[in-house]
């Protein structure tokens, strides 16, 4: 082909050769990619996903290889060869970075397929999802930064400028470091969170006096979905530097508390028996904790505390509301004298359980 093009100017022959190379590279890539796809069709999901997701990077690799071969045989005019080789070098570096990002993403997707967040006991799933997603974001940033740095180092002028900047402008580097302090701080905090995991995806938190679930953890901030569907955005460093409550750190079980303030004549045993009936019929109770205790006496009331456990924070909240509603209805119907009231001295001969008149009663 080159012999046939000798009669043409060098620039025209080079354009033809460089133009034919991408077409032949794409044709060869199609044939080989189809063969490899059929070959891995019966292999594990990881290999099938890896081949499917690397179609773009491998096409770019074939294109770079074809152009490199064409540039080596094409009669390029003086100076053009350097430009083509420089462009191909940058393209090859970008190809390596792209393939690294793709391979890591495929591994993450295949790894997370084993874990489901929509199950009742999802502690292990939340742990792996949080670690993997945060690791992916950190790795993406590192791969992009390293790829861009290596690509810039292929240019002599940029490399020399970088060396002179590091050697003679340390103050400028210090200023840049101070300017990037919030970014670096959150990046380091993200690595700490991925390793120590004080929070995970879907954890129930009390943060800034708000209750919600961790919806998303990015490389710089955390999105907490509050109970009323608002979103609270907090920097990653917040969860390293400030205290907060995590209700699902080890498991989602929670003990709900119901406080009753009743008259001193309230029948505690009857309240205890009625609470057992309520919990026994409730699907929200996990049958692990049940307690009815008088925890304090005040001047006009006594404090009765009811403890009941549930499998998660939302279920515990609903269970507490159910206990309150049914206990107050029970007291109103069966023991109205047990509700808080103001009283005067009981007249001689009057029953202490007698309900005072409307003028002396305040519920």
What residue ranges in the chain does DSSP mark as E strands? 204-207, 210-217, 221-226, 231-235, 245-246, 254-262, 285-297, 302-310
Q: For position 172, what pLDDT does the model report?
A: 42
CB atoms within 10 A of CB 64: 19
pLDDT digits (tens), the chain, 363 positions: 555 555 565 556 666 666 777 777 778 878 888 888 888 777 776 677 767 777 777 777 777 777 777 766 666 666 666 677 777 777 778 878 887 887 787 777 777 777 766 666 666 676 667 777 777 777 887 788 777 777 777 776 656 544 444 444 344 444 444 444 565 666 677 677 777 778 888 888 999 999 899 988 887 789 999 989 999 999 888 888 889 998 887 777 889 999 999 999 899 999 999 999 999 999 999 999 999 999 999 888 899 999 999 988 889 999 999 999 999 999 999 999 888 877 665 555 445 554 544 434 443
The Cα–Cα gap between 228 and 239 comes to 22
The Cα–Cα gap between 211 and 144 comes to 36
Query: pTM for the complete prediction?
Result: 0.50
Task: Provide the Cα torsion 79, 18, 36, 44; round to 10°.
Answer: 40
């Amino acid at each position: 082909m080159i012999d046939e093009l000798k009669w043409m100017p060098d620039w025209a022959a080079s354009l033809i050769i460089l133009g034919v190379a991408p077409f032949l590279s794409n044709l060869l890539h199609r044939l080989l990619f189809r063969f490899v796809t059929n070959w891995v069709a019966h292999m594990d999901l990881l290999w099938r996903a890896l081949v499917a997701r690397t179609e773009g990077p491998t096409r770019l690799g074939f294109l770079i290889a074809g152009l490199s071969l064409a540039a080596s045989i094409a009669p390029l005019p003086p100076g053009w060869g350097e430009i083509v080789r420089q462009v191909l070098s940058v393209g090859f570096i970008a190809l390596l970075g792209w393939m690294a990002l793709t391979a890591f993403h495929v591994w993450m997707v295949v790894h997370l397929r084993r874990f489901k967040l929509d199950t009742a006991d999802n502690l292990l799933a939340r742990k792996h999802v949080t670690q993997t997603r945060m690791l992916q974001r950190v790795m993406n940033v590192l791969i992009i930064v390293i790829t861009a740095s290596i690509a810039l180092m292929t240019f002599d002028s940029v490399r020399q400028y970088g060396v002179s900047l590091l050697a003679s402008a340390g103050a400028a580097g210090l200023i840049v470091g101070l300017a990037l302090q919030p970014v670096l701080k959150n990046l380091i905090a993200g690595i700490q969170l991925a390793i120590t995991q004080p929070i995970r995806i879907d954890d129930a938190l009390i943060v800034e006096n708000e209750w919600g679930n961790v919806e998303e953890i990015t490389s710089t901030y955390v999105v907490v979905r509050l109970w009323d569907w608002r979103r609270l955005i907090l920097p990653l460093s917040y969860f390293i530097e400030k205290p907060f409550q995590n209700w699902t750190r080890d498991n989602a079980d929670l003990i709900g508390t119901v406080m009753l303030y009743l008259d001193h004549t309230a029948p505690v045993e009857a309240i205890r028996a009625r609470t057992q009936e309520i919990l026994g019929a409730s699907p929200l109770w996990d049958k692990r904790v049940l307690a009815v205790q008088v925890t304090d006496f005040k001047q006009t009331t006594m404090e009765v505390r009811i403890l009941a456990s549930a499998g998660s924070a939302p279920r515990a909240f609903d269970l507490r509301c159910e206990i309150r509603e049914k206990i107050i209805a029970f007291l109103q119907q069966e023991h109205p004298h047990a509700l808080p009231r103001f009283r005067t001295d009981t007249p001689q001969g009057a029953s202490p359980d007698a309900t005072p008149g409307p003028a002396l009663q305040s519920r």
